Amino acid sequence: MAVFIALSRIFARHGCTDSSAAFLPPGVVLTVMEPVRELLRSREIGDGAHRVLLTLHREDFSALYPGMIRFALAVSSNEKIRAVFRTNTFEYSPLVPLKAETVAVQAADDWEEQLRTNPALFFQEHWPESRRKQRTPSLDMVVIQGSPRGDGNCSILAGWAVEAAHVLGKTVQVIYPHDLSIHCCIGCYQCYNTGFCVFDDDMDEIIDALRDTSLLVVCSPVYTNTVPGGLKLVIDRCQAYHAERVISGGKQGQKGMLFSVAGRKGEVNFTCITRVITAFLRNLDIEPSGEILIDHIDAVKDIRTIEGMERIVKEKIISLVKIHS
C-alpha cells in the first residue's frame, strides 16, 4: 500500500506504482543465471605434476539479455582454477572493431603458446580471479538519503526511519551518496564477466550494505521529475550488484520503501520517481513494499508541521522491520 499526502489530506491507494519501467515484472524472482554452455576448446598441456587443462567455453546469456554471449577461458589443474579470462558480446560497441569471440579465441591461442613455452612466466602474469566482495555484519535496515541537502525534509524522513528501527533494537546504516566518491556507470557490461564493477570506489561499500540487509529505504526529493544525480549514480552502478546476483545469487525476501517529497502540488509529480525507484528495487530482486509521497513542499516548507506525518512514517518502518524479526 502506498500513501500519498497532499497537505493535510491523506488517502491510501492499493497496489504498486506503474511498473512499465521496471526491469523485472511483479512476481518474477531473480535467481542465479545458468547459461547454456558449449565447450569450444579443451587442451591438456604439460606433463605429470605440471599438467594443466586449458578450456574455452561459450556461454549463452540470452535469457538475461537477448544476444548476450560470454566466452570463458580458464586454466586449471587438479580441478582448481589457476587463471581465468572472460569477455562478452555486450562489451563491444558498434564502433569497436573487435568481437568478443575473436578476442577470446586469440587469448586462448596466446595462453596455449605461453603455457607450452614458458609456464612459469605465464603463472607470474596470470592468476585466479579474485572477487571484490566485502563482508560486514548484516544490517536490519539500510537508508539511502538521496538528497544532497543534509538538513532538508528527506533528512528528516531518514531520521524518523532510523529512530523507528532503533526503537526495536535494529541495526541501521544511512548512506549519503552525495558525500561519496562514485564514478558513473559507463555501460561496459564487464560486471557480467566477474560479478563486480571495473571501478574501485565508494560504491563497493554501498553494495556491501545492500547485500545482506532486510529493508532498504530510499529517501529522495523530486528533481526535474526524477531523482537527484547522486542517487542516480548509485542506481546505475547497482547494475554490478545485479550482475553479481545473476552469476552467484543473493539474499531473498528483501523489501524496499520509498519516501519522497516534491515542491509542487499533485501526485502526478511523483510519476517518474516512483517508476525509477520501482525499477531499481526490482532489478535487485527487492520487493517494493510501499511509498510515502509528500507534495506541495514549497508551501509546507517543513514536513514536521504536517500533523501525524512522523507517526505515519515510523509506523510504516516498524511494520516492515517486524516482518523480518
pLDDT, residue 49, reads: 79
Could you tell me which residues are beta bridge partners of residue 66? none
**Cβ–Cβ < 8 Å for 321, 255:** no
pLDDT, residue 200, reads: 93
Q: What's 92's DSSP letter?
A: S
Q: Cell for 287?
A: 520487493
pLDDT, residue 71, reads: 98
Nearest to residue 172, comparing CAs of 130, 213, 222? Answer: 213
Residue-wise pLDDT tens digits, 78-125: 889 999 999 999 999 999 999 999 999 999 999 999 999 999 999 999
* In the chain, where the domains are located: 2-30+137-323, 36-125
pLDDT, residue 239, reads: 96
Count of positions (residues) in the chain: 325
pLDDT, residue 322, reads: 79
pLDDT at 60 over 60: yes
Query: What band does 7 get if pLDDT is binned at 50, 70 and 90?
Result: very low
Distance CA 220, CA 299 (A): 18
**Cβ–Cβ < 8 Å for 65, 33:** no
The alpha helices in 98-168, defined as continuous H runs, are: 100-117, 119-125, 153-167
Q: What are phi and psi of 175, to 5 degrees?
A: -110, 130
Q: Cell for 227?
A: 531523482
Distance CA 316, CA 303 (A): 16
pLDDT, residue 109, reads: 97
pLDDT at 13 over 60: no
CATH of domain 2-30+137-323: 3.40.50.360
Residue-wise pLDDT tens digits, 203-217: 999 999 999 999 999
Query: First-to-last CA distance in the chain?
Result: 21
pLDDT, residue 100, reads: 97
Q: What's 223's DSSP letter?
A: B
